[in-house]
Amino acid sequence: MLNGMRERETGGAALRGDCESCFGLCCVALPFRRSADFAVDKDAGTPCGNLGEDNRCGIHTRLRSEGFTGCTVYDCFGAGQRVSQVTFGGQDWRTGPPGQARRMVEAFPVVRQLHELLWYLTEALTLPAARPVHADLRRLLAETERLAAGTPEELAALDVAAHRQRVNVLLLRTSELMRAGTRGKKKNRRGADLMGARLKGADLRGADLRGAYLIAADLTGADLRGADLIGADLRDADLTDADLTGAFFLTQPQLTAARGSTGTTLPASLSRPAHWTTGL
């Protein structure tokens, strides 16, 4: 357990976005469409109109009120600073040599996927029930880190989907080991359409909610202890007073996309989103 905690602490800072060390890559590389999450359309590779010459967001403190809730939810898992400072050696996409902006735009989403996998693998190593697969997890963690440290050319040639599938097999096994320790019947709602579902006070202990669509679901007071929430869509889900103790493969962006309260119990590795208490 201590070894797993040390690995988690070591990788934690590197697997969280550090905008001060990035050149606003998420504001350039990623596309978005006018919706409830974004006020305008933007194509991949086109700088957001709110991005200043200093690579800072001009409406950072007003993103929600200006219609850019999607920006407040997003986290690159540290991919931005790696691509900016390591892959391209601190050269800005604005001032680098010809073609560099394009190469950075192409590398960023690849590294972002790899960093997300690093997050899950690192978390899995902190889970005592997953000890039988810790050796395999460490091997895949090292391989994923090696891939993320690749050159722009190596990143461009990488089959990320194939590597993600290899990691997913091990994460599924981790999930099985974790949920096996939960007493009672464990619900399997993997990939289920639960949009707007009335799940107030529901017993979802040890549930498999991988990839479930929980958009705007009422999870007020629900018991989600020990649930697998990898990839679950929690946009606008109401987690007021819900118990997420021991829930795993849950990320900060998922929480930030949801609604909650001071009574919502969270895993120790995650922070309570500011808008849960301010209402903004």
Render the burial of 129-146: b for 16+ CB within 10 Å, e for the rest: bbeebbebbbebbeebbe
Q: Is the pLDDT of residue 10 over 50?
A: no
Q: Is the pLDDT of residue 7 over 50?
A: no
Task: Write the pLDDT tens digit of every residue in 33-58.
Answer: 999 899 999 999 999 999 999 999 99
SS (H, E, C) the chain: CHHHHHHHHHHHHHHCCCHHHCCCCHHHHCCECCCCCCCCCECCCCCCCCECCCCCECCHHHCCCCCCHHHHHCCCCCHHHHHHHHHCCCCCCCCCCCCHHHHHHHHHHHHHHHHHHHHHHHHHCCCHHHHHHHHHHHHHHHHHHHHHCCCHHHHHHCCHHHHHHHHHHHHHHHHHHHHCCCCCCCCECCCCECCCCECCCCECCCCECCCCECCCCECCCCECCCCECCCCECCCCECCCCECCCCECCCHHHHHHCECCCCCECCCCCCCCCHHHHCC
Mean pLDDT for 186-205 is 95
**In the chain, pLDDT over 70 holds for what percent of residues?**
94
pLDDT interval class at 13 (50, 70, 90):
low
Task: Write the pLDDT tens digit of every residue in 112-168.
Answer: 999 999 999 999 999 999 999 999 999 999 999 999 999 999 999 999 999 999 999
pLDDT interval class at 82 (50, 70, 90):
very high
Q: Alpha-carbon distance 174 to 68, whole Å?
A: 35
pLDDT interval class at 12 (50, 70, 90):
low
Q: Alpha-carbon distance 162 to 158, whole Å?
A: 9
Q: Alpha-carbon distance 115 to 147, whole Å?
A: 10
Beta-carbon contacts of 257 under 8 Å, excluding residues fewer than 6 positions away, are: 73, 233, 234, 235, 236, 237
- Please calculate the CA angle 39-43-49 and round it to the nearest 5 degrees: 55
- Please calculate the CA angle 77-80-85 and round it to the nearest 5 degrees: 125
What amino acid is encoded at 94 in this protein? Answer: R
pTM: 0.90
pLDDT at 278: 65
Helix (H, G, I), strand (E, B) or coil at 243: strand
- What count of Cα atoms within 13 Å lies in the side-chain half-sphere of residue 15? 26
Q: Is the pLDDT of residue 71 over 80?
A: yes
Q: Alpha-carbon distance 128 to 21, whole Å?
A: 34
pLDDT at 279: 56
Q: Which of 17-31, 166-180, 181-195, 231-245 has the lowest mean pLDDT?
A: 181-195
Torsion, CA 214, CA 217, CA 220, CA 222, rounded to 10: -40
Helices 134-148/100-124 angle, 10° precision: 170
Q: Is the pLDDT of residue 1 over 80?
A: no
Q: Show the tokens assigned to 40.
A: 């305008």
Looking at every residue in the chain, the average pLDDT score rounds to 92
